[in-house]
Amino acid sequence: MAQGSSSDGVGRLSGKVAVITGAASGIGSGTAQRFVAEGARVVVADLQGDQGRELAASLGEAAVFAQCNVTKEDDVAGAVDLAISTWGRLDCMFNNAGVVGVVGPIAETPLEAWNETMDILLTGVFLGTKHAARVMTGQGSGSIINTSSTAGIMGGLGPHVYTAAKHGVRGLTKSVANELAQHQIRVNAISPGNTVTAMTAAVATGDHTDVEKASGHIAAGSPLGYAGFPEDIANAALYLASDESRYVSGHTLVVDAGQTSSGMTPNRFHTGSATVHRHAGGREDL
């Protein structure tokens, strides 16, 4: 039985409908699985078609797949509309898709690479928030969750553009929470610390498939002495999507083993030549 599921089919998200971007892998995949285990129905929205369809199929009638490039408004709007046409409502929008993006010294960062990274990490969150609000305002309810990062809490934990975008996600979250509160819509962010995914494996080891080695690297830098995994972030998203967080809005929930409290700021992204960092599997977040 999946973690958090109950034998009588009633869970913490029973009857709720969610759209999750970047849902085919990493944090998004872990969250989709946890949401379904807790009774939700989920639109698995991702650029990775084969992987996304496979995940949706594995979740049965509780999930459908939407091909979604979060930099394209029609794709994001389509994922939201699919939730409505399939299940008649939208209770949670988890704007999670992301990449590391361009890495290197600021003086060598190409404008095109800056724009590409910002489009995925910040514009994608804007589009998901916009189209969730379009539906949720009419409902008079909903929870919007945006993936920021510990790089959005302090400097030195990520590349320059990634850091700027993730700070922007937190700012957008606070601003929109203020607007949408009158419609009973809550808007929050999650700031994960290093989490074992294909993307962090690519950064830590140069091989997006070597998650075991990445886990060791991440554990070594964790104040708690062990690595974080997608299910740890999924648990935070579950809380923010559920009615248990009914009085929480405009908040950034940091899930980082205390890293941002300890002042651990390894500066490893700002040397060498500027490059755009992607892993072979597609887009997902740290």
Least Cα distance to 45 among 104, 131, 103 occurs for 131
Tell me whether residue 174 is one of the annotated catalytic residues: no
List the catalytic residue out of 25, 29, 143, 162: 162
Task: Identify the active-site residue in 29, 143, 148, 149.
Answer: 149
Which of 16, 25, 29, 166 does the annotation list as catalytic?
166
Contact 192, 222 (CB under 8 A): no
Choose among 100, 157, 111, 110: nearest CA to 280: 100
Judge whether 166 counts as a catalytic residue: yes
242 catalytically annotated: no
Closest CA to 221 of 258, 252, 192, 254: 258
Dist. CA 145–CA 228, nearest whole Å: 19
Alpha-carbon distance 20 to 165, whole Å?
19
**CA 216 – CA 23 distance, rounded (Å):** 24
Tokens of 226: 């062990």
User: Which residues are catalytically annotated?
Assistant: 149, 162, 166
